[in-house]
Structures are given as structure tokens and as C-alpha cells.
Amino acid sequence: MPRQSAALRILDYDARAPRSSHSSRKATNMAGIDTEVDAGVGSVRNRRVKSSNLQHHHDELPELPTPHDQAQTPAQKARRRHRDRLFGLLTRNEAVALAVLAGLGFVFVLGPASVRFCTPPPLDSSTSSTIQAAPRPAPGTSPYPQNTFAASMALNNSTGATSVARVYADVNANMPRSYWDYDSVNISWGVLENYEVVRKIGRGKYSEVFEGINVVNYQKCVIKVLKPVKKKKIKREIKILQNLSGGPNIVSLLDVVRDNQVSDGSDWIGDWSKTPSLIFEYVNNTDFRSLYPKFQDYDVRYYIFELLKALDYCHSKGIMHRDVKPHNVMIDHEKRKLRLIDWGLAEFYHAGTEYNVRVASRYFKGPELLVDFQEYDYSLDMWSLGAMFASMIFRREPFFHGSSNSDQLVKIAKVLGTEDLFDYLDKYDIELDAQYDDILSRYPKKPWHSFINAENQRFVSNDAIDFLDKLLRYDHQDRLTAQEAMSHPYFAPVRQAAQQNSTAA
């Protein structure tokens, strides 16, 4: 195909009708396998009596014990309402029996598939010689064990735990303002005529991507033509790429150019051009849908380790990627080269800052985004990596396949269970949207080994399961950091091979 100048090729591009990111994303994942992990839930749910059908019985039953009777925050009321609804999924006889026992002082512990009973402490020390009275709780604390159903329904009045990144929390605070203030970034514009477009290789919500060539040195490159977005967003991406320049497995920004000839008089970004373009190093990438099925077990370990190098580096520089997914991981398998690309959603981390939750692609969104928790940090990237890793070892792409953001959380809950989800909401005083009342039921945690089959068993080891389990946690502060992840036993073969290669060199 004859090459065109970048200026001419850009004229063919119509930025006035950008395609929805959701529609394009859906199209690119049509070949994926839906991860419906709890097909039997519906049949179980049909055998339950809804809480509305039990309502007329509730008036005659003793209330469940609640350690705190103070006023509750809206978030606490919402979680209480949702727990009440889940409790209403019990059969009529079960609900009556449990409520009566609760009135007598019994505590019931929610297990994976049933309700177990714990004997209550005697009302008086003289009433029993075999049962010891429970110690009196300290003022303001719950009298119930932490893992009881009563405790899970007892909502405190705190505003939630403070969330600060476990690592690299003060990187930007210790740097001069010029390091993270992208509004003041200085851009040295390159010469547009030095680059020619060869062919289109991709498109996204904010850009179109072309394979190109530098006509000065005849080196291949990638030309990312940005769609009309705020100048601030473009400056942020450029500043972040400048700060990460030379980092391990970070795609290299080679140049920034603009087409001064294209203008509609709108002056949409002041003295900037209508179509700024970013010039990147070229990676001979193979689409992950055709590449991943060819991987051996060691390949998965190797490339996840390489991706962790990039993540630890950007985190150490105070930067969250916020869009980790297979589409943004370029792999030249022949050269065993990996590059983390597309830093358009990346952001500088400042402890205590509330960030936009409308980041990352749906299948790789962390729970914090799905429950609108804005004080997230680098650990968001670790969830996304975990979801990506799960799809690689279990051969399910994507692993969590939600049809919407709310359904995405339901898909996650069907795997991780709802007990830990509510613990997470309680810890950070997060209010779950009312829409979940109708779509989120009570789910037990599903064992990771249940996803193993004849097709994927060669990729799944105890180390792989342990590594995955430490990434896919509701509580973002419980996830492995990138540095911790690289030290995991799962990567021992990769570290050993690297050491041997270093010794041989």
C-alpha cells in the first residue's frame, strides 16, 4: 500500500462521530468466553421465599440483636437494608426459627452453605455450670464475635477507614510541583513531515493508531492521533510519559507533532493544533486472542513478571496506569519483548485525593470503582492484572464478564462471595447503590480450584492459585503490591532463569 503523509491521512479521519468505547470494546470481545460461575444460583433462589412475602410475619417476631442503636449514616442504612434483603432469602420456617433464637440470645454464623448456631452466654452465672459467661465487651465495642452474622449486621457510626496506598504514598509529595503539575508541561513539537502513515492498526475512545515510518531514519514507529479532548488530558499523558521515559517495559514516547493545516476555527485547545499526534516506538505485537492460546506455562509466568516490572516502576514514580488490560500490553513474542502502552487514563497519585471512578475497562475494573470508592490507589492496577492473569491461566477471556458495571460487581461476587464484599463496604463506610437490591444475592466464596479443567490444568499450580488469590481481593489494601508480587514463589523459575542469564553474561 502506498504511504501517505500523516497530514493527508489525518484529513480522512472524522473525529466528529467517535464510536462509543462500550460498543468497540464489546466487538473486540465477542470471541471471549463468558464466565458464568454460578449457574445453579437461580434454582436455589427459586426455592427461597422473598423478604416481601415474609414481611407480615416480621411484625410478630422478636427483632434481631443489634449491638448499636445510635443513628446510622446513609451508607450504613443502605448496607443494613441490603443485608436484611439477603436475610429474607431464607425459607419462611428458617426465618421464624432464626429470629426466635436471636430473641433468646443466640448468635448465628453465616457459613458457605448453611447457618450454624452458637450457644449464647447464660443470663446469670448461676444458671449453668458448664457454660462460661462471655467477657463483658469494652465500652463502644460489639459483644459479638467478628465473624458472626449479628456482627455483620451491626453497623458502626464511623466514617470509614482511611485509605492510603501501602507503598509509594508520598512520592509526589516529595517531588517538586513541576514533576506532577502537568498543566505547566512544556512540549517541544516535532516536525510532522518526518513521519508517514503506513496502515491503521487500531482505534480507541480517545485516539486512532497507525503504523508509521520515520522518513529521516526509516525506522518504524506508531502514530497515535488524538481525538478532540481537553488539553489538560493530553498534557497529562505527555507529562506522565516523559516522567516514565526509559523505565522497564514502558513504551517509549519518541516525539509529539501537530498538524497546523487542519483547523475548523474552533480553536478547541488554544494555540494547539486540531490533531496532535504522539509518536511511539514500534512493537511487532501479536493480538492477544491469537497469542495467549499459544503460551506455555513458563510464558505466562514470564510475561506477567515483565508486566509487574512496568507496574512497579510507574508506581514508584507516583503514577497509576488505571487501564491495565490485554489490549494495552504489547508483546513481541519472537523477541520476548513486552511494553505497557496507552497512558491516556494514567494519573499521579496523591494520598487522600478523590479520583474519577470512570476509568479502566469494564472487565478489568476493580471493586473500588464499581462501588464508587474514589480514594483508590496503585492497587487498582493490581486487581486489573489479577483479572488478566485469571483469564490467562483458566483460559477464560475475560474472566469476569459483566454486561454492565453493576453486573460486573455481581459477576465478581459470584466468585469472591458476598461476605467479604460487605466487610469491605463496612471498613470504608461505602454505600452500595440501591440497584443492587434487586440483582445482588448472597453468594458463598467459590474455590479457585473449581475453575480447573482438562484444558487449563497445565497452567494452574498451587503457587498460581495462591498468587491469584492475593491479587483478587475486594479490599484494595489487602492486595499484593507489584514489588511483593514479583517476590512470589510463582515467579521462582523466572527469577532463576534471569539469574542464570546474568551469570552467563
pLDDT for residue 356: 98
DSSP H/E element including 208: strand 207-214
Please identify, in words, the CATH class of the domain defined by 1-10+188-282: alpha beta
Angle among Cα 57, 62, 63 to the nearest 5 degrees reads: 100
Q: Is the pLDDT of residue 218 over 50?
A: yes
DSSP bridge partners of 118: 107
3-state SS, residue 256: strand
* pLDDT higher than threshold 80 for residue 450: yes
Higher pLDDT, 134 or 346: 346
**pLDDT of 243 strictly over 50:** yes
Question: What percentage of the chain carries pLDDT values higher than 70?
Answer: 65
Longest dimension (CA), the chain: 96
Same fold across 1-10+188-282 and 165-183+284-498: no
Q: Say if residue 294 carries a ligand binding annotation.
A: no
Q: For 206-222, what is the mean pLDDT?
A: 97
Predicted local distance difference test score (pLDDT) of residue 205: 85
Write out pLDDT tens, residues 165-197: 999 999 999 999 999 999 989 889 999 999 999
User: Mean per-residue pLDDT for 415-433?
Assistant: 97
Q: Which residues contact 282 (CB under 8 A, 6 or more apart)?
A: 211, 219, 220, 221, 222
Q: What is the residue-wise DSSP string for 236-277?
A: HHHHHHHHTTT-TTBPPEEEEE--TT---S--TTTTS-SS-E
Pick from 7, 40, 141: which is nearest to 444 by CA?
40
C-alpha cell at 133: 459467661
Whether residue 433 has pLDDT greater than 50: yes
86: DSSP letter: H
Output the pLDDT for position 60: 38
Residue 448 pLDDT more than 90? yes
What pLDDT sits at residue 73? 67
Which pLDDT band, with edges at 50, 70 and 90, does 79 fall under?
low
CA angle 320, 323, 329 (to 5 degrees): 105
Query: What is the C-alpha separation between 72 and 86, in angstroms, rounded?
Result: 19
Please determine, for residue 134, whether its predicted confidence score (pLDDT) is greater than 50. no
Confidence of residue 341 (pLDDT cuts 50, 70, 90): very high
Choice between 502 and 429, residue whose per-residue pLDDT is larger: 429
For residue 503, the model assigns a pLDDT of: 84
The pLDDT of residue 102 is 54
Q: Where are the domains of the chain?
A: 1-10+188-282, 61-122+134-153, 165-183+284-498
What does the radius of gyration of the chain's CA atoms come to, in whole angstroms? 27
Contact, 247 vs 314, CB < 8 A? yes
Which pLDDT score, from 0 to 100, does residue 77 have?
Answer: 66
Give the pLDDT confidence score for residue 9 in this predicted structure.
39
**Predicted confidence band at 49 (pLDDT cuts at 50, 70, 90)?**
very low
Residue (of 118, 279, 104, 127) closest to 189 by Cα position: 279
Residue 456 has pLDDT above 80, yes or no: yes
CA distance 280 to 247: 14
pLDDT score of 311 more than 70: yes
pLDDT of amino acid 286: 96
Average pLDDT over residues 93-110: 52
CA angle (215, 333, 389) in 5-degree steps = 125
pLDDT at 121: 43
pLDDT at residue 331, as a whole number: 99
Mean per-residue pLDDT, 150-155 = 33
Q: Give whole-number Cα distances, 305 to 251, 288, 389, 485, 490, in Å.
A: 16, 17, 11, 8, 10
Q: Which CATH number fits domain 165-183+284-498: 3.40.50.620, 3.60.15.10, 1.10.510.10, 3.40.50.300?
A: 1.10.510.10
Q: Are 189 and 238 in contact (CB under 8 A)?
A: no
CA dihedral 280, 284, 288, 289 (to 10 degrees): 130
Question: How many other β-carbons are positioned within 10 Å of the β-carbon of residue 306?
Answer: 19
30 pLDDT exceeds 70?
Answer: no
More confident residue, 209 or 272: 209
| For the chain, the helix, strand and coil percentages under 3-state DSSP, each to the nearest 5 | 40, 10, 50
User: CA distances (Å), 319 to each of 213, 316, 347, in order?
Assistant: 30, 7, 6
Confidence band, pLDDT 50/70/90 cuts, at residue 14: very low
Average pLDDT of 340-360?
Answer: 98
DSSP 8-state class, residue 126: G
Residue 138 confidence (pLDDT):
44
State the average pLDDT for the chain.
78
Residue 98 reports pLDDT greater than 80: no
The better pLDDT of the pair 98, 280 is held by 280
Give the active site residues. Answer: 323
